[in-house]
């Protein structure tokens, strides 16, 4: 874990961080090449490294081999995978748009507002959009109803003004 100072360069994802006799060096995860821990040198090595990625079991063998040497301590950096690619983020703007769409669905189909709190409906919504909390019956009968009504009134006014102008 990097405790303060400048954050480690992303190039370290390709290297093991090893401390040997009090000096930190880098060992390539692809070819096992050992060199100084300067980020620029590490980048140059990655660009010229000819080896394929080492398989997970080979990494474990390398770890065990390194750990047997009493003069070397391995500082393997734990890399948290980027979860953004796996999680659907619901921004407040998207949540509001979804609220309006759900409200319009309820109004257009004369669905009782109590259905919004039914466990099967809530399961459906959470399956479709994890992390999104759908509007409850009070929101559907209050602020969302007013907002949709205002939107429809504005559309009607524009249509009427367009027809009167002709």
CA distance 9 to 41: 12
Task: Say whether pLDDT at 74 is over 50.
Answer: no
CA distance 30 to 43: 13
pTM: 0.48
User: Residue 156 is encoded by which pair of tokens?
Assistant: 């009607």
Query: What confidence tens digit (pLDDT) does each residue in 18-50 have?
Result: 887 778 888 888 787 888 878 788 888 878 876
């Amino acid at each position: 874990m990097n405790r303060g100072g400048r954050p480690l360069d992303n190039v370290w994802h390709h290297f093991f961080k090893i401390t040997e006799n009090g000096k930190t060096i880098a060992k390539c995860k692809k070819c096992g090449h050992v060199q100084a821990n300067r980020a620029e040198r590490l980048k140059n090595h990655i660009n010229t490294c000819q080896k394929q990625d080492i398989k997970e079991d080979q990494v474990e063998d390398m770890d065990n081999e390194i750990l047997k040497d009493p003069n070397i301590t391995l500082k393997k950096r734990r890399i948290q995978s980027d979860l953004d690619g796996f999680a659907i983020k619901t921004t407040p703007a998207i949540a509001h748009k979804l609220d309006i769409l759900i409200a319009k669905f309820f109004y257009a189909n004369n669905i009782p507002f109590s259905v919004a709190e039914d466990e099967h409906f809530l399961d459906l919504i959470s399956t479709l959009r994890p992390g999104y909390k759908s509007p409850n019956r009070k929101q559907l009968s209050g602020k969302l109803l007013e907002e949709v009504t205002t939107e429809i009134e504005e559309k009607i006014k524009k249509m009427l003004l367009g027809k009167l102008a002709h």
